[in-house]
Amino acid sequence: MSTRVGWTLMILGVTIVVFGSLGCASSTAEGDPWTTHYVGDPDQVWEAMHISLLELDYNIESENRDEGTIRAVRPGDAEGAKVMLSIDQMMVTNNVKVYIRVAAGAGEPAMSRDQQEKHTKDLLALVNGLLYK
């Protein structure tokens, strides 16, 4: 009986360490997506994301509603370089998890983490405004 308890505790300990280290690695690696959660209708989140992208002058290059993916690009202008967003929306019933990756467009210098964060916050501010009226 005590051997069984020992094995169970060891397996539990290893599992905690593995999942803990994965969480740490994913939160610090450069280029990781920004993540946010919404509770509600996934279609409303999808629609709010589209409206916000258009309001921020992004062109939707490709999308797949079944897979929950959007690729949008904002052309460069006098104020800034070309920006590319990759958005993945994962839905489990009424829990919607959204991942946003920001990168410089083709031929543009790499963006700093602060620049990436600014573009993400601009988008999410509009999405949140639409969803939480």
H/E element holding 94?
Answer: none
Q: Please indicate, yes or no, whether residues 52 and 105 belong to a single structural domain of this protein.
A: yes
pTM for the predicted model, two decimal places: 0.68
**29 φ/ψ sector (left φ>0, alpha ψ -120 to 50, else beta):** beta
Q: What tokens appear for 45 in the block?
A: 């989140």
Tell me phi and psi for residue 92, to 5 degrees: -130, 105
Q: Please indicate, yes or no, whether residues 5 and 55 belong to a single structural domain of this protein.
A: no
Stronger pLDDT, 5 or 81, i.e. the higher one: 81
Q: Cα–Cα distance between 113 and 94 in angstroms, integer?
A: 31
pLDDT of amino acid 16: 47
Q: Please indicate, yes or no, whether residues 17 and 37 belong to a single structural domain of this protein.
A: no
The parent domain of residue 22 ranges over 1-30
Encode pLDDT of 16-56 as tens digits: 443 433 333 233 234 568 888 888 888 899 999 999 999 99
CATH of the domain at 68: 3.30.530.50
H/E element holding 53?
Answer: helix 42-55
